[in-house]
Each structure stands twice: as C-alpha cells, then as structure tokens.
Amino acid sequence: MRNKNVLITGGLGFIGSNLARRLVKDGAKVTIVDSLIPEYGGNPHNLHDVKDQMEINITDVRDSISMDQFIPDQDFLFNLAGQTSHLDSMENPFTDLDINAKAQLSILEACRKHNPDIRIVFASTRQIYGKPQYLPVDEKHPWHPVDINGVNKMAGEWYHIVYNDVYGISASVLRLTNTYGPRMRIKDARQTFLGIWIRSLLEGKPIQVFGDGRQRRDYNHVDDVVDALLLAATRSEAKGKIFNLGAPDPLSLEDTAKLMCDQIEGANYEKIPFPEDRKAIDIGDFVCDYQAFQSTFGWKPKVNFREGISKSIEYFRKNLDYYI
Amino acid sequence: MRNKNVLITGGLGFIGSNLARRLVKDGAKVTIVDSLIPEYGGNPHNLHDVKDQMEINITDVRDSISMDQFIPDQDFLFNLAGQTSHLDSMENPFTDLDINAKAQLSILEACRKHNPDIRIVFASTRQIYGKPQYLPVDEKHPWHPVDINGVNKMAGEWYHIVYNDVYGISASVLRLTNTYGPRMRIKDARQTFLGIWIRSLLEGKPIQVFGDGRQRRDYNHVDDVVDALLLAATRSEAKGKIFNLGAPDPLSLEDTAKLMCDQIEGANYEKIPFPEDRKAIDIGDFVCDYQAFQSTFGWKPKVNFREGISKSIEYFRKNLDYYI
C-alpha cells in the first residue's frame, strides 16, 4: 500500500481507525471521512496519536457534494461508514436507509463519474442471513434479514456488486461477524454486545447475558479483519465477490462471559430474560463459514479470543475515559 | 372481497387496473393511488369505463403525507406501484431507490402506525435472481440482482417481510415474471419487451428480437396474476412468504415473435444485435419455478399464451390511440 491514496469512510470508527493505523504504517496516504455522529462508532481518540499522518475530514457520507470531492485520485476506498445498530434501524428506518443504502449508491455514482478505476471494499454483515437454517453459515445460505439494518446493508452490498458487474468498478464485499478489539464502541451495545460487556467489566458491574446464554457466537479480532480487508482490496480474485469472515472457535454467550470475567478479579455475569425488542430480532446460534475466503486467500484468524479479549480489556482500561 | 376496503398503489397501471376491475366486480370498495408519471404504467384509459365505481387519487407513493391518509381503514393493500424499467434504474438510480425502496418503507411505517391489521401483497420481480444458475428458477435460487432496479425491489420486498416478522403486519410477496395482457404499457419496453412488440405489430413494423432469439422466457397473462394476487391476499399460508409466479410453457424469443406474427397478416420480425446497454444486464434463459405457489394454493396459469396474446392484440387494436 506504499504511496497509495486510500479513502476510508467511517475512518474514525472501530474498524476504520485500526485499518487507518495499519495503512499509515505501511506508507499509504490515508484520507478519513467520518461524521462523528454520537450514536455511531466514530471517536477522535481512535486516531489522536497518528492524526498528523493522515487527512481527517468530519463529513457525512450522506453529503454527496462533499463525498464527490474525496473520490477522485483515490486508489482504494474502504467503505466502512454505516449505521450498525439493529434497534436503531427499527426506530429510525429512514436514517438507516439513507446511510446504509442511499449514501452507498451516491458514493458509487461518484466513483462511476469521477474515478472508475478505484478499488472498493465494502463492509457488510452476517446479519443478512438472519436466523441460521444450518451451521456454519456459508455464503450460499439463504438470506433472510430480520431487521431494517439487514435489508439496507443487503441493498448496500448489492449496489457495489451491480456497479462492479455493469460498470467494471472493482468492488468486493466482506460480511463481518462480531468484531472486537481496541477502539470499538463500548458505550452501549450498538456495535456488538462485547462492547457493553467490556464496559460493564471495567466499571465493576455484572455482565448481562440475555436468555439462557447458550446461543453460540463467533468473534473476529479487528487485526484479523484488517488483514482480510487488505486482502480483499488487493487481490483480483475478490473483485465482484461477497465473502464471509468468521472464526474457528465459536463460544456460547455464557462461556464468552465466563472467559471475559476470568480477565478481571471479582468480575461476574448474570443471566436476564431477553428484552422484548431484542427477542423479536434474535437469531439463536450463529457461526459463520469462512472457508471460501480462507481457501481463496489463505486468510485465517490469527488472534485467539482469550488473548484478543485480554488485550482489548487492557486497552480500554487505559483509555476508558475516552470511550464512555 | 365483497364490501372490503382495498387500496391499490399503482392502480392505474397495467396489473393494478386489471386487479381493480376484478375487485369492483367482486363488490370491493376500491381506492386507487397512482402518480401517472409518464414513463411508468399508469394510464387513465385503463379504468375510464369503471372510474365511478372506485376512488381514484393521483398521488405519488413517495408523498408519505398523502399516503398516510389512505392507509387507515383499509382491509387490503395491493402494493403494486413501482419503477419497472431496468435501464431507467441505471440512469436514475436514486429515483428507483425512492420509489421501489424508500416509498415502500414509508407505506409500511404508515401501516404500522395507523393500520397494523391491514393485509398487504407486494409485487416483486424475478429480476432479483439475476442470470439463472439452473432452470427453472425456484425461490431457493441464489439472488444476484443485475441492475439497480433488482437491488431496490429486493429491499422493497424484504421491508415487507421484516414488518411481517417483527410487527405482525401480514405481508406477502409475489415475484412476477413477464406479465402481459390488456392495459399493459406498449409505448416502449419499460414494462416488458412484449409491450413494444405488440406496438410494432399494430403499427406494421417488424418486431425486433435482440441477439440470436434463443433466450427462453415465461409469460403470465394478467388475469392469472390477478388470481394469484387475490390468493396471496386472502390465504393465511401466504403471510410472511415470498413466492414465484410463472408459466408452464416457456418460449424462445424467436418462437414468441413467430407466434405473435401469426396473429397479424403480413407481420414479421427481425433479429438485431444486442444494444450495449441491454447486453450488460441481459440474463440469458429465464424460466420461473412456481411449484411452491401452485402446491400451496392450487394456482396455475389458465390462459394459454397464444390465446392470451391474441386477445391482448385485439384489445390494443381497438384502443391503440390511448397507449402510444
């Protein structure tokens, strides 16, 4: 990526900021766009120590006139800006539509008009599959979004594939599972429940596990996701394709809570009944099949969950004030 | 449907007007919403002889304030308004998004707020499947929209399913294949190529077949589609479900052209190379598998294509001035 011009939407967010840090280390010329909407993942602290090594713009991807300025001359676009909260998407479906679908279309239109040679990677979500009909869930699994966020992310990813197929604008889609690590949002559960669990741990409160805690989940450390994003951006086999990410060591929610409590002396968890609004969109066990991505690119998760969560807790312990 | 309050969006259009005529015959109280946008299917002539038997409102489904007025008190909503042209969706992707996705979400929000007991049927399209990986294409076939229209229709149908699943607003989706019959748009190919072919026949011009004419298509007569819409609206097994329609007698484009030319003395067709813009989104053979809908509801197409096209040509011969 040395000397490449790279645009990251949502670059002050969790995954975007970790990617940006990697890219400047690799010698790329990084431009960040982030709206810093308080409910989303953007956080100036995520890049405070490296901000002089990149261009940071506080702009909303829905502002197509601004976005038009950033697209030309970029070699790569990591399209990570998004509304990620399932509950927010049900409460404000039009906001979710504007960010996760319409803004994506307007970014792609800008690429078509001003920079058709750009290489795009779009971050999508395993939420598109809905409640699994079988495990692990591969890319052929039927799609059945269970909330408005899933529908709009599905539209967002398919705009990318259509622009790839029809206009030849190279675009790839990664469907991410629960991603965790330093710089994630821990204020609440808007990114993943792991965020609010880390906050609870550090504030000495019990972790709240919904239901019986037996639902299994898979977790990717952000460093592994950054590796995957870079592979998707630079390997031609990824063009026009949609791939799952995932991890080899799924855990039940209760085992996840236990493992996290092991990290802190005296920490504990409690099981509570599913809140009504969560119940309607819960999907039971979910484990992603990432064999397609693994076999095509040789990618596999390097960071073991216990080690990754331990380092993440360490990060947030030192930086807690900036994240709550 | 006797004495039921029924709202039809796109009710002055091809399928909507045929449905409206059936419903008033069955004693329903029909309200029509149609924008009469010149490029779309709405045509006042479609209901000119029965307009006193229903309420007709010239309103756009994108106008959520107007739409909010029509939703309360309806027993059924046939949600047929849509932008149907694949090429228009590539030229004006945001218009397509506003009509086929955003307006659908706003209609569903109005239902949630003002009339959650309403029963909705949404007309979607087999275009969502893209280029077939096998034939006939059933509902489990992977989805791969090849144009922006396909992406937005996919979002539109899934908003309906999410509102069904999460809020209990009964909604069903039918994915239609090429539908033809009286009152279709024949001015151009915006609804299906059969429209412009009928126009060519009646104007004494050769039918233009793109490519080698060997691509197979299946055709549903609008009367059969109206039957299917009424089944989907009234049978509980349809709630929250997506079904294909289709026909048992697919034909190659060349055979279709021959059969249509048989209807008119001296009519002929010509093969011409695929226009570039069409080529990029062409999908080869396409035949829908409608066994799920057939076995659940006992529906099958009654109108044979030769008979249906003959009667359609007869209709347009008598009414040509209103359609060109």
- Report the pLDDT averaged over residues B115-132: 96
At B55-75, the pLDDT tens digits run 999 988 888 888 899 999 999
Label residue A201 by pLDDT band (50, 70, 90): very high
Subunit contact A148:B154, Cβ cutoff 8 A: no
Q: Report the C-alpha gap between A171 and A164 in whole angstroms.
A: 6
- The DSSP 8-state label assigned to residue A34 in this structure reads E
| pLDDT of the residue at A275 | 84
Subunit contact A93:B101, Cβ cutoff 8 A: no
- DSSP-H helix ranges across chain B: 14-25, 64-70, 86-91, 93-97, 103-114, 148-167, 193-202, 222-234, 253-261, 276-279, 291-297, 305-319
Subunit contact A101:B97, Cβ cutoff 8 A: yes
| pLDDT of the residue at A246 | 98
- In a mutagenesis test of the A interface, which of B97, B138, B151 is the best target, namely the one with the most A β-carbons within 10 Å? B151
Report yes or no: B111 at the A interface, CB cutoff 8 Å: no
CATH numbers and ranges of domains, chain B? 5-179+219-244 (3.40.50.720), 185-217+250-287+304-322 (3.90.25.10)
- Report the pLDDT averaged over residues B281-310: 95
User: Is the separation of the CB atoms in A200 and A207 below 8 Å?
Assistant: yes
pTM over 0.90: yes
Q: Is residue B280 predicted with pLDDT exceeding 80?
A: no
Give the amino acid at A111: C
Give the amino acid at B101: A
At B215-265, the pLDDT tens digits run 999 999 999 999 999 999 999 999 999 999 999 989 999 999 999 999 999
Chain B window 78-97: which residues touch A at a Cβ cutoff of 8 Å? 90, 93-94, 97
| pLDDT of the residue at A6 | 98
Q: Report the C-alpha gap between B101 and A28 in whole angstroms.
A: 38
Residue B118 has which token pair?
Answer: 């309403």
Residue A275 has which token pair?
Answer: 């809140």
User: Is the separation of the CB atoms in B278 and B126 below 8 Å?
Assistant: no
For B276, which residue in chain A has the nearest alpha carbon? A166
Report yes or no: B145 at the A interface, CB cutoff 8 Å: yes
- DSSP-H helix ranges across chain A: 14-25, 64-70, 86-91, 93-97, 103-114, 148-167, 193-202, 222-234, 253-261, 276-279, 291-297, 305-319
Q: Report the C-alpha gap between A207 and A258 in whole angstroms.
A: 9
Q: Report the C-alpha gap between A194 and A184 in whole angstroms.
A: 9
**Closest partner CB to B159 (pick from A102, A140, A148):** A148
Report yes or no: A200 at the B interface, CB cutoff 8 Å: no
At A259-281, the pLDDT tens digits run 999 999 999 999 999 888 777 66
At B16-39, the pLDDT tens digits run 999 999 999 999 999 999 988 888
Report yes or no: A101 at the B interface, CB cutoff 8 Å: yes
Q: Is residue B287 predicted with pLDDT exceeding 90?
A: yes
Subunit contact B142:A145, Cβ cutoff 8 A: no
- CA distances (Å), origin A96, targets A8, A100, A101, A144, A186: 19, 6, 8, 18, 21
Mind telling me how many Å the CA of B247 is from chain A's nearest CA? 24
Report yes or no: B140 at the A interface, CB cutoff 8 Å: yes
Which residues in chain B touch residue A140, judged by CB atoms under 8 angstroms apart? 142
Mind telling me how many Å the CA of B85 is from chain A's nearest CA? 16
Which residues in chain A touch residue B165, judged by CB atoms under 8 angstroms apart? 146, 280
Label residue B277 by pLDDT band (50, 70, 90): confident
